Copies of this chain bind each other. A is one copy, B any other.
Amino acid sequence: MERAADEQAPVRPDDLTAKARIRNAAFALIAQDGVDAATVRAIARRADVSPSLVLHHFGSKQGVVDEVATWVADVLGDVTRDTDPQAGPAEAHRRRQLRFERMTTEVPLLGAYLRRMLLDGTENGLEWFARTVDASEAGLNQREALGIARPSVDVRMTAAMLALLGFAPVLLRPHLEHALRLDFDDEDDRRRWRAAETALLTRALYPRGAVADAPA
């Protein structure tokens, strides 16, 4: 494995230092192959640095892993933050959606990292998912108040389902691409997915009432 100068991580001020390179290298390795595969030596090699320096800057391997985690949380936080308090809930939601999509295309590995974080079952993943449902719920509540959305019996549960659908292209991207022969890099395919999502939510699939679908 050789030095990969361009780690595809969002550029932030104070980057380009060895410390930042190490963090980016760790992020990329963890996203691609998981925490176990991201050995101190592999991180160092990728950052073009000695293994000792990794520990010098972060104390331990766990330190690097934690640093990457909080760094991702920061990036995600920026995406989630509402920039314009004037914008209505629907508009704010649309903007978050766009920012998130831009972020995941700018940093392709972010999707892989999130997938690992969620499916790894770490505390982090649980917490992050809960906060995501929080955001989804807030948006849905406002949409209910505005009359855009019909009232739900259990708003939070409905919000969770919406979050699920919205995140699917990130969490199960390879699987959806394979099963549906899509390419989410293609704007057209992304549009198709969003259209199908909108259709599902704007026109009842089982107008007369019937069983929901399920696995197997």
- Give the complex CA separation of A150 and B199 in angstroms: 11
Kindly state the separation between the CA atoms of A173 and B193 in the bound complex, as whole angstroms.
24
Contact A213 B163 (CB under 8 A): yes
A3 at the B interface (CB under 8 A): no
Place the interface of chain A in its size category: 35 or more
Q: Is the CB of A160 within 8 A of B174?
A: no
When the two chains form their complex, are residues A200 and B158 in contact, meaning their CB atoms are under 8 A apart?
yes
The answer for the CA separation of A149 and B211 in the assembled complex, in Å, is: 10
Check if A202 sits within 8 Å of B201, measured CB to CB: no
- A148, CB-defined interface residue at 8 Å: yes
Is the CB–CB distance between A157 and B129 below 8 Å? no
> Within the complex, what minimum Cβ distance (angstroms) separates A61 from chain B?
14
Kindly state the separation between the CA atoms of A126 and B172 in the bound complex, as whole angstroms.
9
Q: Is the CB of A157 within 8 A of B202?
A: no
Q: Is the CB of A196 within 8 A of B158?
A: yes
Cβ contacts A to B, 6 pairs, < 8 Å: A129-B175, A132-B216, A153-B195, A153-B196, A162-B214, A198-B212
A202 close to B206 (CB less than 8 A): yes
With A149-B205, A149-B206, A160-B179 already in contact, the answer to whether A216 and B135 are too (CB < 8 A) is yes
Q: Which residues of A contact B (CB under 8 A)?
A: 34, 36, 76, 79-80, 90, 93-94, 96-97, 99-101, 112, 115-116, 118-121, 125-126, 129-130, 132-133, 135-136, 139-140, 143, 148-150, 152-154, 156-168, 170-172, 174-176, 178-180, 192-216
Report A159 CB to chain B, min CB distance, Å.
7
**Of all chain B residues, which has the CB nearest A157?**
B196
